[in-house]
Structure formats: structure tokens, C-alpha cells
Amino acid sequence: MSEPRTVPERIAGPATFLDDRLGAGGFVRRNIRKVFPDHWSFLLGEIALYSFVILLLTGTFLTFWFKPSMGEIVYNGTYAPLRGVTMSEAYASSLQISFEVRGGLLIRQIHHWAALVFIAGMMAHALRVFFTGAYRKPRELNWLIGVVILSIALFEGLTGYSLPDDLLSGAGLRVTQGVVIGLPVVGTYLNFFLFGGEYPGGDVISRFYSIHILLLPGLILALVTAHLILMWMQKHTQFPGKGRTNRNVVGAPFYPAFMAKSGAFFLFTFAVIAALGTFAQINPVWLYGPYSPADISAGSQPDFYLAFLEGALRIMPAWEINLFGTSQVGTIPLSVVIPALVPLGVIVVGMALYPFLERWLTGDNREHHLADRPRNNPHRTSIGMAAVAFYGVLWLFGGNDIISANFRISLYTTTWAGRILVFVAPALAYAITYRVCLGLQRSDVAVLAHGVESGVIKRLPNGGYVEVHSRPAEDIEAHLRGKEPVPVLPYDETVPPKGLRGPLGRLRLRMSRAYGGEKVPPVNGHPHDEDGQAALQEGQNRALTR
């Protein structure tokens, strides 16, 4: 078949119909060949997006059978071990979906796996955006939308895995209640409003259900739409490289290449999640039994994305204060309030404020469309890694009982290790990352100044041996040369500008000078293409790469 020279009638007809009514031709003309830059790390957000689509599809399927009711019934279904057991309708219908609906177990497991992949994808995407500085002007608003989506998704997950009303989900609900009721001043009220009375009451499942299937997904859907529209309008960032500047975007066109690639990537994401849902058992609620507040199983763990809160609860010392002694007011259970609010607050508020703090420190008000390589802004990368270490320690110690059991370490030792590491690990991560970034920058400088090691050993006339260095590939060189110094506030040693005179101004200036500037001076010349030259500069070379 030959390529079409004109639009086939079957497409031209409906297109004309639509354009007559919508006038969309101009929009399509501008956008049908919209260029999308290509890099593997730009696909992380797509993983989250496609997981969300899968969540909507599979979640809708589950609602057809799930009964969000805490009304008690005697189980009479096909799962023999639980027959005759009194349980909530929610749990019974979860069992029904798992055992009596064809494909029900598959969809349930896909839904749960997709939730994990959704949040993991968002986290990875957020880290990519952070470490490459892709949140900078003009993308701060989209960054904020992303932070809000991620925060909502945590609650979406929490309300979701509480629904089956099995023993494990009930344990999670109980911990949630213990945290809610501990909040100063409002805790008791929130508890009664959320549960319709005392815990567990008879309302929480149906309330969580409407929050989980309507309120939060609606919000997420709206925010995801806004996120995509802004991304579309502002065009995607790209890494520096040959022909790629801050003023252009280089890559594949939306139609046909990017569209087809995205479709394929959706199918890949779906295939991986479907494989996980098929072969990797997740949340086998029938093994846990119905919820009772009197029972618990050892090794109860939340889904991975809430484990950092769990870890914070576990390593927190037993602090509690009664502001007014024995009078019935003023109890603040710090051992609950601090781990519940501080880590989440530090991470979410820190993420939300970072673009603005950085702009305040660097005074950089330009538009940025070239992504930074993480090494080229060492303080930002170190701060990010410190946050990752902080989160990682809390996450790890959300399973300290498992660590203790598997590695035969005393349980209390693991708790103390967590208490120390939560402060030490971020500091270490900061220091190590900073050194690594500078080392990588020096290595880039060495490549630019002396070329890459060729693996060819050459014997010199004087009998010495040297390795031949050759010029790096052109786009690698362009990639390396894309480095820009981190901006610093303009300053004058003698007369500081007006805004930088007070104590805050002086602090700002000092932090700016520490944060910004060129830590490793770049080279201006081109790498030497001559073997001998490279050899002669061997000593300097070694000093640079060490």
C-alpha cells in the first residue's frame, strides 16, 4: 500500500464536522507536531499517570461488587475456612470479589499493585524533577500541583486499603484513629466526626468509601489534568546537549512518534502491573480474617508509602506532656503528634517551598528550560539526598520488627539505631553527596580538558608509557558544556544593596554565596586531540580526576 497523499474521507468527514463546530484547526495545527524531548527519566511521571488510569478502570470494576458497609453478617460464601464467621459486609464482599467473581481477584490485585506503582512512580518523578531543577521558573506551579497530588495520593491509599475491613486494614485504621485522637485540641472532635462516634463505630467504612472513590480521585483527576495542561503549555524541559538550548526543544513530534511511544508505554506499564497482579500475591485478605479491635497479628505493616510514618511512630521516644496536670485538658502525646506531623510536614512543606527558597537565595528570576545535571548544583542535590536519607531511615524502621527477626538483632537495638540514624544519615548523605557532586564535576572538567581515556597505551620515544586520550563525542561534549554556574545574589564587598543589609539580608547573602557560585571552575578550551599533549599533561590530569 502506498502512503496516502490526502486525508482519507473517513477521517476528513468527522474532522470537518468537528472543526465546523469547534474551530479546533488552529490548535491542532500548532500542536499536532509538538516536539517532546526524549530521555528515560522523563518517563517516570508517565508511569504514575498510566497507573492512575489503571486505578480508575480497575477501581470502577471493584465498586460493582464491593459493599461499603460495616453491617455484620455471617459469611456463607465459597471460601470454606471462614464460613460461619461473623464479619462486616465490606469484608464479605471483598471475599466475594476475590473468590466468586471471575477475574475479581485479578482486578483487586492489579488495583492494589497499581496503587503502589502510582505512588512509587510519583515519588521517582518528583525526585527526577527536583534533582534536575525542573521545578524552576516557569514550572513552580506545576511542581506545587505535583506535591499536592502526591500528598492526596497518600490519603487515597490509606482510605483504600482500609476498605476491605480485614484484620490488617483494621490495624491500620486503629493506628490512624490513635493519631487523629491525639491531635491537640481538635483530636477528640475529629475522632467523633470521622467515626460517627467512638472507634470503630459503624460509619467509617462507608465514609472512607466515598472519600476513596469520589472525593480524592476527583481531586487527583482534576489536578492531574491541570498538571498535564501546564506541562503541555510550558513544553517539557530537556537536558543540555548538541543543538539543545534554553530557547528550543529538540525531540520527536507528538504525531505520530510520541503518541505511539506513549501508547506503548501505557501498555508496558499495564503489562507489568498485570503480571504483578497475576503472579505476585498482594494483600490476601482472606488469610487475615475479619477485623476485631481485640486482635492483631505480629508483623503488621502498612503499604510502603506510609511506612515512613510507621517508622517515625516506632522510633519516637515516649514523650507526653500534660500542660495542666490533672485537669481534663491539655494532654499532648508528643510520641504520637511529632511522628505523625513532623516528617510528613518537613517533606511536603520542604518540597513546596523549595523552588521559592532557591529563587530567594539565588536571585535567579530567569526562565529555565534546560534541566540541570544533578552534579552541577551540588547543594541542591545534597539537600535532596539528605531528604531521601531521612525518608529512607524512617521507611526502613517502619519494619524494624522484621529487621530484628530476620537479622537476629535485638528489637530495642533496631529502635535505637533508628533514633540515631534519623539524624546522622541525612547529615552523612549531605556530606557524601556534596563530595561526589564535586568529584563528578572535576571529572567532567578533566574530560573537557584532556579528553576521554582511549584504552590505548602508547610508548613514548623516551621510553615512558602513556594512555592516549581522545576527544569526547560531540554531543557528550555539548552535554558537559551545558553546565551553568548556580547564580549568586549580586553583592559588593563594601556597600551591600539595600535588601541585604539587615541580619536576615546578611544571612541571605551568606547562604546565597555558599549555595551558588562555581565550585569547580570550568575549562574554556577544547580537549587536546594530540596524544603527546595529553601525555605531557598527565600530572595535571591525574590531579583533576582524583
Partner 1 sequence: MTDNEHETGRPERRRPARVIGTPLSDTPFSGTPFSGAVASGIPDAGDVDHGLPAVPGVVPQDERKARRAERIAALCFTLAFAALVAFLVAYVRFQVGGLSATGASHVALGGTLTLALLALAAGIVIWVRQIMPKYELVQQRHPMASPEDVRAEVAATFVRGTGESGIVKRRLLRRTLLLAAAPLGLAPLVLLRDLDSSGVPAAQLHRRLGHTVWGEKTKDGRPLRLVVEGTGQPIRAADFNSPGGILSVVPQGYEHDLNVLAKATVILVKFRPEELRAGTKPNWTHDGIVAYSKICTHVGCPAALYEQTTHHILCPCHQSTFDAADGARVVFGPAARPLPQLPIGVDEQGYLIALGDFPAPVGPSYWERGDAEARARENGGHS
Using CB under 8 A as the binding rule, whether residue 225 contacts partner 1 is answered as no
- Give 85 or 120: the residue with its C-beta nearer to partner 1: 85
Please select the residue that binds partner 1; options are 17, 27, 193, 232, rule is CB under 8 A.
Answer: 193
Total number of residues shown for the chain: 546
Going by DSSP bridges, is the β-strand pair 465-470/72-74 parallel, antiparallel, or unpaired?
Answer: unpaired
DSSP assignment letter at 455: E
Q: Is the peptide bond before 138 cis (omega within 30 degrees of 0)?
A: yes
Using CB under 8 A as the binding rule, whether residue 198 contacts partner 1 is answered as yes
Using CB under 8 A as the binding rule, whether residue 538 contacts partner 1 is answered as no
Binding mask 107-146 for partner 1 (x = CB under 8 A): -------------------------------x--------
Instruction: Supply the DSSP string of 343-369, one letter for each residue.
Output: HHHHHHHHHHHHHHHHHHHH---S---
- Give 121 or 516: the residue with its C-beta nearer to partner 1: 121
- Give 419 or 519: the residue with its C-beta nearer to partner 1: 419
Using CB under 8 A as the binding rule, whether residue 430 contacts partner 1 is answered as no
- What is the rounded CA–CA span in Å between residue 180 and residue 184? 9
Helix (H) or strand (E) holding 116, with range, is: helix 104-131
Per the CB < 8 A criterion, the answer to whether 236 and 42 are in contact is: yes
Using CB under 8 A as the binding rule, whether residue 300 contacts partner 1 is answered as yes
Residues 368-397 within binding reach of partner 1 (CB under 8 A): 369
Please select the residue that binds partner 1; options are 8, 84, 317, 539, rule is CB under 8 A.
Answer: 317
Please select the residue that binds partner 1; options are 15, 28, 206, 253, rule is CB under 8 A.
Answer: 253
Residues 143-172 within binding reach of partner 1 (CB under 8 A): 171
Q: Which amino acid is at 51?
A: S
Q: How is residue 332 written as a grid cell?
A: 499532648
Residues 16-45 within binding reach of partner 1 (CB under 8 A): 33-35, 37-39
- What is the rounded CA–CA span in Å between residue 487 and residue 518? 9
Using CB under 8 A as the binding rule, whether residue 194 contacts partner 1 is answered as yes
Report the SS3 class of residue 521. coil
Binding mask 333-372 for partner 1 (x = CB under 8 A): x-xx--x---------------------------x-x---
Residues 488-527 within binding reach of partner 1 (CB under 8 A): none
Q: Which amino acid is at 414?
A: T
The minimum distance between CB 413 and partner 1, in angstroms, equals: 11
Using CB under 8 A as the binding rule, whether residue 476 contacts partner 1 is answered as yes
- What is the rounded CA–CA span in Å between residue 321 and residue 333? 6
The stretch near partner 1 (CB under 8 A) out of 17-25, 124-132, 233-241, 484-492 is: 233-241
Using CB under 8 A as the binding rule, whether residue 182 contacts partner 1 is answered as yes
Using CB under 8 A as the binding rule, whether residue 412 contacts partner 1 is answered as yes
The minimum distance between CB 127 and partner 1, in angstroms, equals: 20
Helix (H) or strand (E) holding 96, with range, is: helix 89-99
C-alpha angle 115/121/126, rounded to 5°? 130
φ, ψ at 36 (rounded to 5°): -115, 120
- What is the rounded CA–CA span in Å between residue 244 and residue 478? 9
